[in-house]
Structure 1
Amino acid sequence: MKASAANHSMSPQQARAPTKAGVRRQPDLTRQQLLQCAFDEIHRSGFRAASLDAILESSGVTKGALYHHFGSKTALGYAVVDEVVRPWVEALWKPILEAGNVIDAALALCRELARARSEQALQYGCPFNNLINEMSPLDRGFRERLQHILHDWHEGVIVGIRRGQANGSVRKDVDAEQVSALIISTAEGSVGLAKAKQSPAFFDAAMRGLEAYLESLRPLRAAP
């Protein structure tokens, strides 16, 4: 799934399930439509309150087709996490690892998040964080899937920071694990709190604070 302004805005209508190249068979299209409509409904309502009838109505799919692809509402929820939420989260952080300067790339992402945020993002919050808060205490299948996504994100940022330390773009005296945890916590927490406050200004302020922190990770220039 390619990262874009649409992905970063955290809008359920914009973050689409990934598709393979080429012509897809009709059952594949039906499955993808169900996944996307389920993602949208879960983002709006939460998993427990999500309505299968609403998903069927928005997707135009029959109940029989839904249960053909997913044996239960829980199985549908697991598939949404695996096939929509995971690639969407990875699209946020994986491009940073490919950049020559991890700080520049992370700063660009912060600015893009602030620029591309939508009213829906602030109204409904981050779908990943929402599911962590709602389902991790209640369901082992959700908890393990969400933990794996978070683990990969945390480890990925650690790799990026250490790579930056190796190429001289990140200070060598910082702890990569701590930096990764702080960046992720700030990014996710700012969306959740902005949702609670319904305040774009709060989110923008948090992103500016994160940008200042990222700038502080650059190596200090020697005094002339």
Structure 2
Amino acid sequence: MLQKQKSEFTKQLILNESFKLFYKDGFKTTSVDKIMIKTKLTKGAFYYHYKNKKELGLDVIKLKIQKRVCDGMISPLYTSGNAIDILKATFLNRIKAFPLEEKQQGCPMNNFINEIGDSEKVYQTALKSIIEEWKTALINLIDKGKKQKTIKNAISSEATAVYLISAFEGMRGIRKLYDTDEIIDEYVLGLSMYINQIKV
């Protein structure tokens, strides 16, 4: 039992430190050697858990990035209440709440999409599944808002969902170019106006 726990701890250490390195330095420039230096583990420990960096990258997407997006942007959409209020709380409050380091480094998922989303089908599929899950949650919320009569019936739930995700992820990327939150404030104002336009 102790060996199993130790093995799981080692795997989690590799995952956690790899995620941080991929986020900070990029996936392509982070070598297995760099991960081993950071974790203070041997290459044998790495290859016991992963065949190669490609397999590790897929695990980081599925176990770290997907969880972040789910916890921060998907699960809140399933809470009870007024759909418009949920949209505002999820999209407007979330982007203002990111720590400075995350504003400067952008969205981990977005960084992965831009760096390797088109290089390997397996990465593309894993990243796309996160977007699709997010889109589905938004469509469900918007449809709920229509039933509540808080969101206009005439709008396309699918188009609205895609727009909200694209605008949010775009802003996460654009913010990396700026030294202040002024650009985020403008985004928040614009998105507030948009949400007000779709509400009844």
**Superimposed CA distance per residue, residues 163-186 of structure 1 (whole angstroms, 9 cap, x where no aligned partner):** 111122211111101110110011
- Looking at structure 2, the residues matched to 146 and 46 of structure 1 have their Cα atoms a distance apart, in angstroms, of 16
RMSD after superposition: 1.6
2:171 matched to 1:190?
yes
Contact 2:23 2:108 in 1 (8 A): yes
Which deviates further from its counterpart, 50-59 or 177-186?
50-59
2:76 matched to 1:95?
yes
2:41 matched to 1:55?
no
- Looking at structure 2, the residues matched to 186 and 119 of structure 1 have their Cα atoms a distance apart, in angstroms, of 20
2:52 matched to 1:78?
no
**Superimposed CA distance per residue, residues 130-180 of structure 1 (whole angstroms, 9 cap, x where no aligned partner):** 111111221111111111111111121111100111122211111101110
2:114 matched to 1:133?
yes
Q: Which runs of 5+ in 1 are unaligned?
A: 1-23, 220-224
Query: Quick one: which amino acid aligns to residue 47 of structure 2?
Result: Y
- Looking at structure 1, the residues matched to 65 and 33 of structure 2 have their Cα atoms a distance apart, in angstroms, of 22
Q: 2:8 aligns with which of 11, 28, 43?
A: 28
- Looking at structure 2, the residues matched to 142 and 114 of structure 1 have their Cα atoms a distance apart, in angstroms, of 25
- Looking at structure 2, the residues matched to 130 and 199 of structure 1 have their Cα atoms a distance apart, in angstroms, of 20
2:193 matched to 1:212?
yes
Counterpart of 2:130?
Answer: 149
- Looking at structure 2, the residues matched to 215 and 60 of structure 1 have their Cα atoms a distance apart, in angstroms, of 52
**Superimposed CA distance per residue, residues 74-99 of structure 1 (whole angstroms, 9 cap, x where no aligned partner):** 11000000111111111112221223
Which deviates further from its counterpart, 52-61 or 148-157?
52-61
Counterpart of 1:174?
Answer: 155
TM-score, scaled to structure 1? 0.82
Contact 1:41 1:50 in 2 (8 A): yes
Which deviates further from its counterpart, 88-97 or 125-134?
88-97
- Cα deviation, residue 111, structure 1: 3.8
- Looking at structure 2, the residues matched to 179 and 74 of structure 1 have their Cα atoms a distance apart, in angstroms, of 34
- Cα deviation, residue 44, structure 1: 0.9
Equivalent residue runs for 1:108-127 within 5 Å: 108-127=89-108
2:116 matched to 1:163?
no
Query: Quick one: which amino acid aligns to residue 158 of structure 2?
Result: E
Counterpart of 1:45?
Answer: 25
- Looking at structure 2, the residues matched to 35 and 164 of structure 1 have their Cα atoms a distance apart, in angstroms, of 38
Q: Secondary structure at the match of 1:25?
A: helix
TM-score, scaled to structure 2? 0.91
- Looking at structure 1, the residues matched to 79 and 143 of structure 2 have their Cα atoms a distance apart, in angstroms, of 13
Contact 2:77 2:137 in 1 (8 A): no
- Looking at structure 1, the residues matched to 124 and 180 of structure 2 have their Cα atoms a distance apart, in angstroms, of 29
CA distance 1:199–1:139, shift in 2 (3 Å): farther
How many pairs align? 196
CA distance 1:150–1:199, shift in 2 (3 Å): same
- Cα deviation, residue 208, structure 1: 2.5
Which deviates further from its counterpart, 166-175 or 67-76?
166-175
